[in-house]
Every structure is written in C-alpha cells, then in structure tokens.
C-alpha cells in the first residue's frame, strides 16, 4: 500500500463556501482521490482551517503555521510515498501583507522539509507534488473581502511562482486553477462540484508519480 499525505488548509479540510457543515469524506477532493485510487493506496487528509505556509498568525495562533506541524506530521504518518502540498490562500490575508512571490518562498520552505531524506518506503524522502490553489473569485462585497484586501490580485500569480519553486526543487507541480475555480459564494473556498473535479483530476497524476 502506498501512502499519500494531503497537507493543506480549509480547502483540504473541506470547508463549505456557504458556511454549512464540513463536506463529507466522499466529497472532499482528498476523499475523491482516495476513492478513485482504490485499496492499494492510503490517502491521509491533513487539512487545517487557517493554515499558512510558514507564517505565525497573530490572531488565530502559532499552530496555524504550516511549518510548525509539518515535520511531526511527516513522522507521524511515515512512511509516506507522496505529499500533496496545497497552501498559500491564508498567506494572502491583509494582516500578513506579503507578495505572491513570498508566499511561494513559504512553499519552498515546506518543500525543503518534505524533500529532506528520512525513513520512507524506499529509505529516502517522500515525493512531492506542489499544488497551487485556484485564483480567488471576485471578492467585492463578500464576507472575506476586508480580510483578504489585495489578495484577489495576488492569487492570480501564485501558480507561476509555485511552478518556479517546483522546478528549483525538482518536484512535480499541478495548477488546481487549470481544472477548478473558487466559489463565488465566498471567493476562496471550493464548491462541492469543484472538489470532485479536483480529486478526479489528481487520480492519474498520483498514479503516474507513484508508478
């Protein structure tokens, strides 16, 4: 059995854009991926609402820093064959005030941790798939508009910078925005239909990476 770790934020956890309860395990993109891959794969969902790449959140807590929990997470679920890393949305909050290129640098920090050799299925590091979140939908008048002031424009540049990080680290890259869009209900989360599309799109990608 090969293990895939999905490390992300509320869009991995399955937060609903209409503020209804968490999406069920067969609707969340990681769950759709698990169902599609079948019994030869274990898919671990490690999504946390508000998680950043490598930023301490002054209001929501330092535990939201994706770097803080990453190594314990990797060791907890070892051996891990592949990590799918999708973070960066929360880094675009106005309170952090960083450009898209620095969000990508945060992804690079996490990538270096993941790609450092440690006990794994083959005695080495896990493989890594860096996934950029889709650009925000128009935010004007939506509940998160003020919190993410300036984030809508920055979100359009994440894929380009993430792709550069993937090239520099020699790992795989996938642009979620090539197959899904963010919800028009809140601008940042994924509708159920988009979760299903993303999970389905990742099935052959993961199979190829772990072939």
Give tens-digit pLDDT for 6-62.
999 999 999 999 999 999 999 999 999 999 999 999 999 999 999 999 999 999 999
Between the alpha carbon of residue 192 and those of residues 22, 24, 42, 135, the distances in Å are 11, 10, 22, 17
Q: Rounded to whole angstroms, how far apart are CA atoms 134 and 181? A: 6
Peptide bond into 79 cis (omega under 30): yes
Q: Are the beta carbons of 83 and 118 closer than 8 angstroms? A: no
Q: What is the pLDDT of residue 121?
A: 46
Q: Rounded to whole angstroms, how far apart are CA atoms 145 and 151? A: 9
Give the closest residue to 132 by CA, choosing from 192, 67, 84.
84
Give the closest residue to 132 by CA, choosing from 155, 102, 101.
155
pTM above 0.85, yes or no: yes
Decide the pairing of beta strands 41-47 and 127-132: unpaired
Q: What is the pLDDT of residue 117?
A: 83
Give the closest residue to 108 by CA, choosing from 165, 56, 156.
165
Give tens-digit pLDDT for 117-169.
865 445 568 999 999 999 999 999 999 999 999 999 999 999 999 999 999 99
SS3 110: helix
Delineate the domains of the chain, giving CATH numbers in brackets.
Answer: 2-209 (3.40.50.1110)
Q: What is the pLDDT of residue 125?
A: 81
Angle at 176 between CA 56 and CA 36, to 5 degrees: 110
Residue 25, token pair as written in the block: 């395990």
């Amino acid at each position: 059995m090969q293990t895939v770790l999905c490390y992300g934020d509320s869009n991995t956890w399955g937060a609903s854009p209409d503020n209804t309860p968490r999406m069920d395990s067969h609707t969340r993109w990681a769950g759709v991926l698990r169902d599609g891959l079948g019994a030869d794969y274990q898919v671990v969902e490690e999504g946390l609402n508000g998680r950043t790449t490598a930023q301490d959140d002054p209001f929501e807590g330092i535990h939201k820093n994706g770097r803080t929990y990453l190594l314990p997470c990797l060791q907890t679920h070892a051996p891990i064959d592949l990590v799918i890393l999708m973070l960066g949305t929360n880094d675009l909050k106005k309170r952090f005030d960083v450009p898209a290129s620095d969000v990508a640098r945060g992804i690079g920090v996490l990538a270096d941790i993941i790609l450092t050799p440690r006990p794994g299925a083959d005695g080495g590091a896990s493989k890594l798939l860096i996934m950029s979140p889709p650009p925000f939908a128009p935010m004007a008048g939506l509940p998160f508009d003020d919190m993410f002031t300036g984030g809508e424009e920055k979100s359009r540049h994440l894929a380009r910078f993430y792709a550069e990080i993937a090239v520099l680290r020699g790992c795989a890259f996938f642009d979620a925005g090539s197959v899904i869009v963010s919800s028009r209900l809140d601008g940042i989360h994924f509708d159920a239909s988009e979760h299903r599309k993303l999970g389905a799109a990742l099935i052959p990608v993961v199979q190829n990476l772990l072939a």
